[in-house]
């Protein structure tokens, strides 16, 4: 005997699970980040490779992205922060750029070091 009340509760349960599922999807989505320190053309502007950078994403270990090279990182979730430590030839930190960013539900993103340094709004894009 399935009463109306039960049906209502069951509907509520299903909706709750869909909601939880969506949250989990959002929270657990993993993203591959390609960190490139190469020549890049965004729109009309072209940026040359930036000096070597040590990139710290959230609380992870620093990732070296040397001039002319690329590296990759992996993050989980939507909102993140990064700290880019721009190095000089000796390896000392000249400048630090901090940014907070939110990722969409896409799988991979490209973070361009030159664009980041030049503060181009499109320093991060989906690929």
Partner 1 sequence: MTTKNLQLKKLLTLDNAAHLLMRNTVPILFILISAMAIPLSEFSFSYLSQELMTRLIRNSFLVLSLLIPIIAGMGLNFGMVLGAMAGQVGLIFVTDWNIVGMPGVFLAMIISTPLAILLGLICGIILNKASGKEMVTGFVLAFFAQGVYQLVVLYGMGAIIPIERLTLVLSRGYGIRNTVNLIGIRSSLDSAISFDLGPVPIPVVTLFIIALFCLFVVWFRKTKLGQDMKAIGQDMHVAEAAGIRVLRTRIISIIISTVLACWGQIIYLQNMGTLNTYNSHEQIGMFSIAALLVGGATVSKAQISHVFVGVILFHLMFIVSPMAGKNLIGSAMLGEYFRGFVTYGVISAALVVHAWTRFKTNQRQRQHLRGN
Partner 2 sequence: MTTSGPLLQVEGVSKDFFGTNVLSDINFNLEKGEILGLVGENGAGKSTLMNILFGMKVISSTGGYSGQILFEGKQTSFKNPLEALNSGIGMVHQEFSLIPGLTATENILLNSEPTRYNFLTELFGPRLSTLDRYEMQIRAIAAINKLGFRLDQDMLVSQMPVGHKQFTEISRELDRKNIKLLVLDEPTAVLTESEAQILLKSLKTLASDGIGIIIISHRLSEIMDITDKVVVLCDGKIIHTSKTSDTTVDKIAECMVGRSGVLESSKAHAQKEQAQKEIILKVENLWVDMPGEHIEDVSFDVIRGEIFGIGGLAGQGKLGIPNGIMGYFESGGNVYFSGKKCNLGNPREALDQEMAFVSEDRKGVGLLLDEPIDWNIVFTAMQTKDQFLKSYLWGLIKWRDSKAMSKVSKQYINELEIKCLNEWQHVRQLSGGNQQKICLAKAFVLDPKLLFVSEPTRGIDVGAKSIVLDTLRKINKQKGTTIIMVSSELEEMRGICDRIAIVDKGKIAGILPADSSSISFGKLMAGVGETL
Q: At 116, list the tokens.
A: 């980041």
Nearest 5°: the CA angle 97, 115, 30 is 80
Question: Site residues for partner 2, window 4-43 (CB under 8 A)?
Answer: 5-6, 9-10, 13
Question: Site residues for partner 1, window 68-87 (CB under 8 A)?
Answer: 76
Residue number with CB closer to partner 2 (20 or 45): 20
Q: Which of 6, 8, 27, 96 binds partner 1 (CB under 8 A)?
A: 27
Q: What is the b/e burial string over 45-65, where b = at least 16 CB atoms within 10 angstroms of the residue's CB?
A: eebebbbbbbbbbeeeeebeb
Cβ of 17: how many Cβ atoms within 10 Å?
Answer: 10
Draw the binding track, 42-81, toward partner 2 (x: CB under 8 A; -: no contact): ----------------------------------------
d(C-alpha 111, C-alpha 69), whole Å: 12
Q: Which of 8, 13, 25, 79 binds partner 1 (CB under 8 A)?
A: 25
Contact between 1 and partner 2 by CB under 8 A: the answer reads: yes
Q: Which of 8, 17, 72, 88 binds partner 1 (CB under 8 A)?
A: 17
Q: At 123, list the tokens.
A: 């320093």
- Are 80 and 103 in contact by the 8 Å Cβ rule? The answer is yes
Residue number with CB closer to partner 1 (32 or 120): 32
Q: Where along the sequence are the contacts to partner 2 (CB under 8 A)?
A: 1-2, 5-6, 9-10, 13
């Amino acid at each position: 005997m399935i009463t109306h009340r039960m049906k209502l509760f069951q509907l509520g349960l299903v909706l709750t699970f869909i909601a939880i599922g969506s949250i989990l999807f959002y929270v657990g989505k993993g993203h591959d980040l390609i960190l490139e320190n190469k020549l890049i053309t965004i729109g009309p502007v072209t940026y040359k490779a930036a000096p070597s950078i040590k990139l710290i994403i959230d609380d992870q270990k620093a990732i070296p992205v040397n001039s002319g090279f690329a590296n990759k990182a992996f993050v989980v979730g939507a909102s993140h922060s990064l700290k880019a430590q721009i190095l000089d030839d000796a390896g000392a930190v000249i400048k630090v750029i901090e940014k907070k960013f939110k990722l969409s539900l896409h799988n991979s993103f490209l973070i361009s070091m030159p664009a980041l340094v030049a503060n181009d709004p499109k320093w991060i894009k989906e690929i």
